Amino acid sequence: MRGVKILERALAAIPIMLGVCIVVFIFMRLIPGDPVDIMLGEASNVTQEEIDALRAQFNLDEPIHVQLTTYLTRVLKGDLGYSISRSANVRDLLLEALPATVELALSSITLALLVAVPLGIMTAVRHRSAVDRTSMAASFLGISMPAFWLGIVLILIFAVRLKWLPTSGRATYGFVPTHVTGLYVLDSILTGDVPALKDSLRHLVLPSIALGAAPAAVITRVIRSSMLEVMRKDYVTFARAKGVAEWAVILKHVFRNALIPAVTVTGLEIGSLLGGNMVVETIFGWPGMGRLVVDGIFSRDYSLVQGAVMVYGFTFVAVNLIADILYTWLNPKLVIGEKV
Amino acid sequence: MIKGVSARTHMRRKLFFLRLSLWAEGVSATIRRLRRNKAAMLGALVVSIITLSAVFAHVIAPYPPDEMSLADRFSPPGGKYILGADHLGHDVLSRILHGARVSILVGIITVTISVIAGGVLGILAGYYGGWFDALMSRLTEVLLAFPYLIFAIGAMAMLGPGFWNLVWALCFKGWVEFFRLARAGVLSEKAKEYVEAAKVLGRSDLEIMGSEILPNIVNPLMVVGTLRMGTMMVMEASLSFLGIGIPPRIPTWGSMIQDGYRFILNAWWLSTFPGLILVALVLSVNLVGEGLREVLDPDLQTF
Amino acid sequence: MIHQRTLWKSHYVIFALVLVLVALSAISGCTREEPEPAGQTLSLVIDCEANRKDEAEAIASQLRQIGIQAEARTWEWSAMKAEFMAGNRQLYMTDWGSSYFDPFDLAIPKLVTGERGNYSFYSNPQVDDLLTQATSATDDETRKALYHEVQDIIYNDAPWVFGYCLEEIAAASTKVGGWRVSMDSRINLHDVTLEGSDTITVGLGIDKIVTLDPGNYRDRDTETVIRNVFDALVTRTWDGQVVPEIAESWEIPDPTTYVFKIREGIRFHNGEVLDADDVIFTFERVLEENGIGGQTSPRRGLLGPLASVTKVDPYTVSFTLENPFPVFLQALCHFQIVPKDYVTEVGDARFAEKPVGAGPFMFKEGRLNDQVVLTRFEDYYGGSPELPPVGPAGINTVVFRMMPDPATRVAALKAGEIHIADKLPPDMADSLMDDPNIKVDSVPGTRTYGIEFCLTKPPFDDVRVRQALNYAIDWDTIIATIYGGRAVRLSTAFIPSGFGYNHDLKPYEYNPAKAVELLKEAGFNVSLPGR
């Protein structure tokens, strides 16, 4: 029964993806500007024939519905098209940029969890204590601080003044690990390349803090509030009355049951980290999806933006689906699809 | 009783005032309870101070925001310019004060438009269901799958620069969340007895939606709306940071941070002060929103 | 009426009223109200891209001083271009580069009727005619005279607010020797040495290069990388003189024929010998329709009237033009020779991934949007004898890193992560001047910066208004402050590094009184400050 529900949800993703595809396709063409003109830049003595030839080459001379059909057919065959501004296949470009974004998102969320889980438990246990109040104030700050400004401040302090960490980029030349997955940290562990591991971790620190601050704050708050809620339940009082050690009560009974909303929120935070960090990527010179797609919009690189947004859409749908599945799995009383 | 007004109309009017006063009572109770929340009151205080100084910026700012004296570029804080001068010799303090207008207005206007548009569409979709609901729900699902900032960048590229274009660009996707909140609220209210009762009594759909359902779902909309004001302010700053926000004569905090970022090595005050005030404002708005949540809808999952 | 009293007592109403008042007054504050003076007010919006918004703001502020209601607006380039090309804008800041050191690729696209870069819709049959003559004339003196005449005409026509020419600024660690900024923005790493390390890292001011195939790009940044891997028949000194490179010498028996003698003993990185066949292949690949991987080379237009390339003997090639093309030698600097056998064998796509050239460095690895790594080619023939040192490169490894953000480049240079930072904005260059470990260098640039008028619509269909705006802007102050003095004021659209620049023609002076006079004549209500 549950399997069927999951399958149903997965199938419901198909029209969403189709919708994303069509919306971005039309949206890009509504933005004024001609990709061929941008591609030619300041080229002088260009003839109209040359321009027409280029337009034909990228199928830009056909009516829009024909272009859309052609594009959709190609996408179904796994061909995301050719990027005008970067002279490369969109799929290759995305496969290059995606690991960078994924690595940054994963490291940010790891950092966030490392802070949030202990802090969330502690604030719940020491409810209304000084620790609780300070952490809650700090978490509000974390939520309210724009990531890009935090990034600038971090660069200013740790890279420019103290010179502890690099200002930008993913790796110093010579420290790029052999390509396995495209995630530098994972690759350097897999190949046993210690200097490369150190180097990529050093590059990850500042952008991860900048991006991880807000999720850390959110997750702390969620863990705290759901633990507080669980602690009021009868079975917790009962367990305490039975003489179970306090730490065991907290970890076994309270934390486990408070985990459900935390997992959901973590999932959603990963989703938004994968989708919304182009300003931070720009500041840290991170060669990820965000820079690719912003640049694509500015150079009217239709195929590139379409491809990238489809990846975003797919990630969003997938992350939501996984969060839903986890939610029901942790909380068997619920049926998938009923969550608002 | 006024002559010529039927008893029925009179009753209606009375009922209307009764309802309004109940609502007002509720609101004042909310404010009373909110007053006990120190953090929220602190937030409200900071928001009021910033708002007031934005409104009276032209009075209290020491210089006009667009007055430049190129000779004073990069004057450090203190002396002639309290918070220093920027790369064109503008007074940073005056620009921060005027920039507050943009941030606050963007926050209020985009959220208001989004709440109204999303709320109305959500109530209609939830109440009537059917093809309209299906269509709108699919549309919101599609829109949700777009990263917000990318959508806004695209919209700005399409509309061109300008204050109202920025507002529209942010609203393009902003209403979606409120649509979903309102629709979910209507769905759970619709099943309740009082709605059934009202239907049986022959009241029109519009009346039921407006006077029965709306008051019961307005709380989460208010709470999330307040919290989203902070988000919108940050979005405006991000777009201005990318150089595609509001024309330069209107100073905005985002573009000030961006300008400062270019000179981060020789003039730290350019991006530090607007950044700090942006954080302070967003933080305060969030504190108020969180306070509202505790009073109005404690179960609502906000962050 | 209890209910109503409660209603009025409630804090809510007061709160709501205050909120509405605040919002309204703030709105009215945002859309500032300015008293409308009697008569016709000149109100303008100056459109610009984000990188010139400081300048635009300063200009708007200067124009406001004489009673023009001017405002600056920042756009994203393509959207702005679409708008002004549709004739919807008034005046817009644009710039245009010339890579031939000749007005050929500047004046023609910008000023000839209907050309691609003619954003101001300028149309003057006399200018069209003079420029056409100047392009095909064979005698330098005649060409110079023609160009001078064009400059005089456009000076008076004032189709733009003529602006300035920025210096190209770059900075390097003091450990780097033999480096200087080149006028054609090439970074020649062959001639560079580095103290204490054998790997030099260059921070490029872009987020990606387009390709590593010399036949398939059109931008300068890509060329910067490519020219370290590939050599051309001829090259330039830093100040734009054409000198031999792969070619040993050349002759021009008549204005439409160029004969090149190729240096013997040059090898490509894969050991292949470079001879006439490779040169012919290189140019045919570009000339031929769909010649590169099924697509026509974007460089086709750069070759102008080139009709054919033929082999005279294994080390001599002859180029035949359809009509005289005085900038042909300059153009050839940008066509790097590719190995015929290798390209035919592996195909165009593979060639772009693993490029093989005859330049001082071999491609090792890298990604176009991240970093590109090159290593020294030990069997390098030495490069142009006119550009010492001659021989293999002085550095073992070269890394080009894509760092689009100037602040990042500066910070990385200060931190020692990179050794050369390309394309620095003037204000940042100043902050580096005090650093004892960093040297800053600059040369006059090859781009003309100005503000173009939309000539088809009022008020700028009136030459008096156009001239008035040229008088009304204090460029010297703008250049001195915003651009740190690192720019040259221009008298017209022409730039000093180009052939035939008229050094005697003085730029419009800053003269607000004259501007006011002209504008009043044209029927606008303006006045000098303080009156």
DSSP code string of C234-255: EEE-TTS-EEESSEEEEEEEET
Judged by DSSP in three states, C488 sits in strand
Enumerate the residues of chain A whose CB falls inside 8 A of the CB of residue C350: none
CA distances from C362 to C94, C279, C365, C379, C384 (A): 37, 19, 9, 11, 18
Of B25, B57, B68, the CB nearest to C10: B25
Confidence of residue A340 (pLDDT cuts 50, 70, 90): very low
Q: How far, rounded to the nearest angstrom, does the alpha carbon of residue A295 sit from its chain's CA centroid?
A: 18
Enumerate the residues of chain A whose CB falls inside 8 A of the CB of residue C217: 87
Tell me: do B2 and B119 sit in the same domain.
Answer: no
Ramachandran angles phi, psi of A82, nearest 5°: -120, 130
Tell me: do B4 and B143 sit in the same domain.
Answer: no
Enumerate the residues of chain B whose CB falls inside 8 A of the CB of residue A140: 283, 286-287, 290
Contact B178, B224 (CB under 8 A): yes
Enumerate the residues of chain B whose CB falls inside 8 A of the CB of residue C10: 24-25, 27-28
| B290–chain A nearest CA distance, Å | 10
pLDDT (tens digit per residue) in A170-180? 876 567 777 77
**What is the token pair recorded at B60?**
């209290």
Q: Is B191 on the interface with A (CB under 8 A)?
A: no
Q: Element (H or E) spanning C375, and its range? A: strand C371-376
Tell me: do B173 and B236 sit in the same domain.
Answer: yes
Domains plus CATH for chain A? Answer: 90-330 (1.10.3720.10)
Tell me: do B8 and B120 sit in the same domain.
Answer: no
- Partners of C260 in the β-ladder: C250, C317
What residues 425-464 of chain C have any CB closer than 8 A to a CB of chain B? 425, 427-428, 430-431
Contact C44, C63 (CB under 8 A): yes
Taking the C-alpha atoms of residue A15 and residue A27, their distance in angstroms, rounded to an integer, is 18
Cis amide leading into C389 (omega within 30): yes
Cβ–Cβ below 8 Å for A294 and B242? yes
Enumerate the residues of chain B whose CB falls inside 8 A of the CB of residue A30: 158
**What is the token pair recorded at A114?**
């490392």
Cβ–Cβ below 8 Å for C216 and A87? yes
Q: Is B263 on the interface with C (CB under 8 A)?
A: yes
- Partners of C361 in the β-ladder: C376
Tell me: do B50 and B81 sit in the same domain.
Answer: yes
Cβ–Cβ below 8 Å for A168 and C298? no
Of B138, B145, B279, the CB nearest to A317: B145
Any idea what the CATH number is for the domain that residue B107 is in? 1.10.3720.10
Cβ–Cβ below 8 Å for C57 and B55? no
- Partners of A83 in the β-ladder: A88
If one counts the domains in chain B, the total is 2
pLDDT of C21 reads 63
Taking the C-alpha atoms of residue C118 and residue C449, their distance in angstroms, rounded to an integer, is 14
Taking the C-alpha atoms of residue C161 and residue C91, their distance in angstroms, rounded to an integer, is 9
Q: Element (H or E) spanning C257, and its range? A: strand C257-262
Tell me: do B85 and B3 sit in the same domain.
Answer: no
Domain that holds residue B27: 1-35
Residues lower than pLDDT 70 in chain C: 1-39, 530-531
Taking the C-alpha atoms of residue C242 and residue C253, their distance in angstroms, rounded to an integer, is 18
Q: Give C493's DSSP letter.
A: S
Enumerate the residues of chain B whose CB falls inside 8 A of the CB of residue A19: 138-139, 141-142
Q: At what angle do helices C53-65 and C463-472 cross, to 10 degrees?
A: 110
Taking the C-alpha atoms of residue C186 and residue C238, their distance in angstroms, rounded to an integer, is 8
Of B102, B249, B264, the CB nearest to C407: B264
Of C54, C73, C428, the CB nearest to B88: C54
Tell me: do B167 and B81 sit in the same domain.
Answer: yes
Confidence of residue A11 (pLDDT cuts 50, 70, 90): confident
Q: How far, rounded to the nearest angstrom, does the alpha carbon of residue B108 sit from its chain's CA centroid?
A: 4
What residues 204-233 of chain B have any CB closer than 8 A to a CB of chain A? 230
Contacts within 8 Å (CB) and 24+ apart, A182-189: A182/A95, A182/A96, A182/A98, A182/A99, A182/A100, A182/A103, A183/A99, A183/A102, A183/A103, A183/A106, A184/A103, A185/A103, A185/A107, A186/A103
Selection from B253, B233, B250 nearest residue B241 by Cα: B253
**What is the token pair recorded at C86?**
């549709």
Q: Is B11 on the interface with C (CB under 8 A)?
A: no
Of A40, A88, A285, the CB nearest to C408: A285
pTM exceeding the 0.95 threshold for the entire prediction? no
Q: Is B58 on the interface with C (CB under 8 A)?
A: yes
Starting at the edge strand found earlier in the chain, the sheet holding C316-321 runs C247-254, C257-262, C316-321, C306-313
Tell me: do B31 and B44 sit in the same domain.
Answer: no
pLDDT of C355 reads 94
pLDDT of A276 reads 63
Tell me: do B79 and B91 sit in the same domain.
Answer: yes
Task: Count Cβ atoms within 10 A of the Cβ of residue C437 and give its class: 0-12 exposed, 13-18 middle, 19 or more buried.
Answer: exposed
| B4–chain C nearest CA distance, Å | 20
Give the residue on A whose Cα is nearest the Cα of B234. A146
Q: How far, rounded to the nearest angstrom, does the alpha carbon of residue A321 sit from its chain's CA centroid?
A: 15
pLDDT of B300 reads 66
Contact C442, C181 (CB under 8 A): yes
Cβ–Cβ below 8 Å for B262 and C79? no
pLDDT of C39 reads 61
Enumerate the residues of chain A whose CB falls inside 8 A of the CB of residue C208: 86, 295
Residues lower than pLDDT 70 in chain B: 1-5, 299-303
Tell me: do B92 and B15 sit in the same domain.
Answer: no
Distant-in-sequence, close-in-space partners of C423: CB < 8 Å, separation ≥ 6: C168, C169, C170, C185, C204, C205, C406, C409
**The 3-state secondary structure of C30-71, one letter per residue:** HCCCCCCCCCCCCEEEEEEEHHHHHHHHHHHHHHHHCCCEEE
Is the pLDDT higher at B16 or at A117?
A117
pLDDT of A324 reads 75
Cβ–Cβ below 8 Å for C370 and A97? no
Measured torsion, CA atoms of residues C462, C83, C45, C505, in degrees rounded to the nearest 10: -50
pLDDT for A83 beyond 60: yes
Tell me: do B78 and B201 sit in the same domain.
Answer: yes
Give the residue on A whose Cα is nearest the Cα of C364. A174
pLDDT of A277 reads 77
Enumerate the residues of chain B whose CB falls inside 8 A of the CB of residue A222: 301, 303
Taking the C-alpha atoms of residue C59 and residue C63, their distance in angstroms, rounded to an integer, is 6
pLDDT of A336 reads 39
Is the pLDDT higher at A110 or at C292?
A110
Selection from C485, C474, C428 nearest residue B87 by Cα: C428
Taking residues A177-206, report their average pLDDT. Answer: 83
pLDDT of C31 reads 47
Cβ–Cβ below 8 Å for A44 and C411? no
Taking the C-alpha atoms of residue A217 and residue A62, their distance in angstroms, rounded to an integer, is 50
Q: Looking at chain A, how many residues does it have? A: 340
Taking the C-alpha atoms of residue C340 and residue C350, their distance in angstroms, rounded to an integer, is 14
Taking the C-alpha atoms of residue B170 and residue B178, their distance in angstroms, rounded to an integer, is 14
**What is the token pair recorded at A118?**
């202990």
Taking the C-alpha atoms of residue C156 and residue C162, their distance in angstroms, rounded to an integer, is 11
Taking the C-alpha atoms of residue B303 and residue C21, their distance in angstroms, rounded to an integer, is 31
Q: Give C292's DSSP letter.
A: B
| B242–chain A nearest CA distance, Å | 7
Tell me: do B12 and B152 sit in the same domain.
Answer: no
Enumerate the residues of chain A whose CB falls inside 8 A of the CB of residue B240: none
pLDDT of C8 reads 41
Say if the ipTM goes beyond 0.95. no
Ramachandran angles phi, psi of B167, nearest 5°: -60, -45
Taking the C-alpha atoms of residue A266 and residue C293, their distance in angstroms, rounded to an integer, is 46
